[in-house]
Amino acid sequence: MVTRRSKEMPACRARLVLEDGSQWPGISFGNPKAAAGEVVFNTGMVGYPEALTDPSYYGQILCLTYPLIGNYGVPRNRRQGNLSESFESDRIQITGLIIGDYSNEPYHWDCGLTLGRWLADNGVPGLYGIDTRALTRKLRHSGTMLGKIIFDSDIEFYDPNKDDILSRVSINKPIVYGDSEPRICLVDCGVKHNIIRCLLKRGAAVLRVPYDYPLFRENEKFDGIVLSNGPGDPKRAERTIATVREAMERKVPVLGICLGNQLLALAAGGDTYKLKYGHRGQNQPCIEAGTERCYITSQNHGFAVSRESLPRGFKIWYENANDSTIEGIRHKSGLFMAVQFHPEASAGPYDTEFIFDLFLETIQKKARPAHA
């Protein structure tokens, strides 16, 4: 076991201000600069390095409900090619962090530095000493709100759902991982690295392309498409939706994950809506439709597919056991499927990683030449 106490930024007073005017004073750690975004909460007990680097949190101030954060520090950033082994992207994606109690003396065999030092190095502010239970109850009662972390000077509120944020979390040009079959085209809307790892370890090659890539006009060869997770309002991803619609017309197998679930529904003619406070954590129960089987899943989303507008030919695959929202859809052809939760987990249970196997089996059953 290793203890790490890297140099911290000097603590000072700061406060979280919500759009309803309520103020939550705390003590800063990380980078002492103002930040604004959408305030959301995560109910997981562990997994903050993975959560903070999840691009689906881009533009959000994250409140962690578990009371003690930082006690195992931040792992060393080992890399395998273009992928980090420890994190879900190449940087911290949240705009700010809110916690109850902060531990600046972590103790863990793989600890590389403290959480506060990591936040400071990435230019992200954090606040501790806040009643995160009360804050979470407020967000559950009133719904997700805009907020800002301020020090001496004030700043404007910022709503990431009204911004073109996919361009900030997607790659700029295609990247290829591996050279085997099948070849999966991964549309990067802010993909978590473990989605790529899950495909690679099953023997597939991965062609990772930007969210707005003209896929069917670039002579790319692939056997199926994975639509990744990502931040923001899915209806703003018009170019991605058009690509998915063309893929369905060409009968290319499609798997959607998180935001990808919403994009598949929209491309098929369905609708989406904003949840009151979203699902964020590694402990969300989902029931497979038509069975009594319940899976504990990792989730991070603020929008959902409308039950009333379920696209023609699709059926509900999974439902949330807490609020009965749609957690997965599947087309009667078997070619198009999507889940709202994260089968790649990281953090969270890996119970639903078999979703990747089902998708690859679908591609094998289709048994036709790669598309160009």
Provide the 10 A C-beta neighbour count for residue 156: 8
Name the average pLDDT for the chain: 94
Q: Specify the residue for token string 């793989």.
A: 110
Bridge partners (DSSP) of residue 294 are: 287
Give the pLDDT mean for 108-112. 94
Pairing, β 254-257 against β 224-227 = parallel
Distance (Å, whole) CA 92 – CA 124: 8
Query: Edge-to-edge strand order for the sheet containing 175-177?
Result: 175-177, 205-210, 183-188, 224-227, 254-257, 336-339, 326-331, 314-320, 272-288, 294-305
Is 258 annotated in the active site?
yes
Residues 191-205 pLDDT 10s: 999 999 999 999 999
Give the pLDDT mean for 344-372. 86
Given 88, 111, 344, 371, which residue is catalytic?
344
∠ Cα 134 136 140 (to 5°): 115
Is 156 annotated in the active site?
no
| Residue 210 structural domain | 166-366
Structural tokens at position 358 = 């089902």
Given 258, 279, 286, 327, which residue is catalytic?
258
Is 342 annotated in the active site?
yes
Q: What are phi and psi of 48, to 5 degrees?
A: -70, -30
Please check whether residues 218 and 287 belong to one and the same domain. Answer: yes
Residues 119-169 pLDDT 10s: 999 999 999 999 999 999 999 999 999 999 999 889 999 999 999 999 999
Does 371 have pLDDT greater than 70?
A: no
> Looking at 135, 162, 189, which one is the last position of a domain?
162
- pLDDT given for residue 5 in this prediction: 54
Please check whether residues 156 and 254 belong to one and the same domain. Answer: no
- Domains identified in the chain, total number: 2
> Looking at 145, 162, 179, which one is the last position of a domain?
162
**Bond from prior residue into 32 cis (ω within 30 degrees of 0):** no
Cα distances (angstroms) measured from residue 52 to each of 108, 118, 119, 177, 254: 19, 11, 10, 24, 28
Does 10 have pLDDT greater than 90?
A: no
Q: Specify the residue for token string 């889940």.
A: 339
> Looking at 102, 128, 162, which one is the last position of a domain?
162
The CATH number assigned to the domain holding 44 equals 3.50.30.20
Given 193, 331, 342, 371, which residue is catalytic?
342
Residues 229-263 pLDDT 10s: 999 999 999 999 999 999 999 999 999 999 999 99
Helix (H) or strand (E) holding 136: helix 132-142
Please check whether residues 228 and 352 belong to one and the same domain. Answer: yes
